[in-house]
Amino acid sequence: MNQTNRRYFLMTSVAMTASSFSHSPVSTQANDRIRVAVVGLRSRGQSHIQAFNDLRNRNIEVAALCDIDENILNERLAETEKVTGKRPEAFTDMRDLMDKKDVDVISFATPNHWHALGTIWACQAGKDVYIEKPTSHGIWEGRKMVEAARKYHRIVQCGTQIRSSVAIQEGMQKIREGLIGDVYMARGLCFKWRKSIGKAKEQPIPPGIHYDLWIGPAPKRPFTQNRFHYQWHWQWDYGNGDIGNQGPHQLDLARWGLGVGLPKRVQSLGGHYLFNDDQETPNVQISTFEYPDEQKILTFEVRPWITNSEGGSQIGAFIYGSEGYLEISKYDGYRTFLGKKQEPGPSREEGGNHFANFIDAIRTRNHNQLNSDIEEGHISSSLAHLANIAYRTGRTLQYDPLEENFPNDDESNAFLKRQYRPPFIVPEDV
């Protein structure tokens, strides 16, 4: 069977079992070279390339780059060659990476609708994975990602990089030690200035764009600029709105501070205000997650335009306790305010290296060493998905955090799993 036919067989297989791919274990010795492929190369993907290049002294090599946009691909190839003196291999189809025995790690900065399938394929192929937030496009496929990571003993780090901040880790420890008393509530904010995306007409696919590969698991729709670079965030087929874009960072912090997992009750209200354009996702959204057993509550708010800040923060998380509160308004620092007069308490600013933490866990083969293991990423991303389901149904939802479904609620359960476009199907059995 030639390579092309073999690949098609693998990707159209219903089961997509482990035997579908050749499993070459990643390098595990402290001095072994780890070869990385980065998939999705625009702004965030460029950051991935830089982060791994910065680890060259730890025997890390960016060996391959992949993007469906040949224009971006060629730019990043040239940039990487200039930095490292070596030109990576070039790919437009991520499937071509899976059988490459000399690729140990795949780092994904693709649109959200590709996160699950790319990660699962990589795990099946014996690769470790760095996956951007949100981990998934939906709750069901997020759980499949966790299952794949565990089944194939892969190291899968979610891109909620704030978890690697030394300062934030200290702040969370202060909460556990009782600095702000009994924690009862957390709040996340995403107040971002977002301009109208306007209305875009259908147009021919630009040169160098492999549009069918970009669409992948999503429904086939005509090309427009509002279904493509960055604007995909605001279309349900590909993105999850700002609660799924910025939100996973602050939702993760809020949940971490509360010490909770998935909620039992979810509400979300809002809409697309101010602009008459192609955006489908809400740009104003107020969501509430209730934890009745723990007697805790988490809220998250999205605002798109002119607004006040809260405590000087417009992108941040607040954790409230009986004796004070902790504020995180930057990726590498926290502040506390204590007592009725909100006197300043302990604070700190110090970052961390999320990619280095990922490499350390690869070397030890211990996923518990990860600061943001796929399980944690799945849970925090699921909060965004739950809010969007509540918004789209227009109802307060009861959720079973153990079964990860809505009891006796077919309408809401229909949002847990999407219809996949063959051959790009997330398998039931990973």
Question: 163-195+233-350+382-406: which CATH number, 3.30.260.10, 3.30.360.10, 3.90.1640.10, 1.10.533.10?
Answer: 3.30.360.10
Query: How does pLDDT run along the chain (430 residues), one tens digit per residue?
Result: 333 333 323 433 333 333 344 454 544 555 699 999 999 999 999 999 999 999 999 999 999 999 999 999 999 999 999 999 999 999 999 999 999 999 999 999 999 999 999 999 999 999 999 999 999 999 999 999 999 999 999 999 999 999 999 999 999 999 999 999 999 999 999 999 999 999 999 999 999 999 999 999 999 999 999 999 999 999 999 999 999 999 999 999 999 999 999 999 999 999 999 999 999 999 999 999 999 999 999 999 999 999 999 888 999 999 999 999 999 999 999 999 999 999 999 999 999 999 999 999 999 999 999 999 999 999 999 999 999 999 999 999 999 999 999 999 999 999 999 999 999 999 999 9
Question: Given this model, what pLDDT does residue 72 score?
Answer: 98
Sign of CA dihedral 114, 115, 120, 125: positive
Which tokens is 111 given? 């649109």
Q: Which helix (H) or strand (E) holds 228?
A: none
ω into 217 cis (within 30 of 0): no
Task: Give the single-character DSSP code of 27.
Answer: P
Where in the chain is CATH 3.30.360.10? 163-195+233-350+382-406
What is the residue whose two structure tokens read 């389901």? 389
H helices then E strands: how many in the chain? 12, 15
Question: Given this model, what pLDDT does residue 233 score?
Answer: 98
DSSP per position, 156-184: EEES-GGGG-HHHHHHHHHHHTTTT-SEE
Global confidence as pTM:
0.93
Residues 6+ apart with CB under 8 A from 152: 18, 23, 123, 124, 126
374-393 helix and 247-258 helix, angle to the nearest 10 degrees: 110
Where in the chain is CATH 3.40.50.720? 3-162+355-373
Question: Given this model, what pLDDT does residue 31 score?
Answer: 63
Q: Name the phi and psi angles at 279, rounded to 5.
A: -65, 130
CB 187 within 8 Å of CB 388: no
CB 181 within 8 Å of CB 321: yes
Question: Given this model, what pLDDT does residue 30 score?
Answer: 57
Which tokens is 379 given? 């849970």
Task: Give the single-character DSSP code of 388.
Answer: H
Distance CA 130, CA 119 (A): 8
Distance CA 285, CA 302 (A): 5
Alpha helices of 200-270 — where are they, by DSSP H?
Answer: 211-215, 241-245, 247-258
Distance CA 329, CA 116 (A): 29
Which tokens is 105 given? 């790690």
Tell me if residue 363 falls in helix, strand or coil.
helix
According to CATH, the superfamily of the domain at 3-162+355-373 is NAD(P)-binding Rossmann-like Domain (3.40.50.720)
CB 92 within 8 Å of CB 210: yes
Question: Given this model, what pLDDT does residue 106 score?
Answer: 98
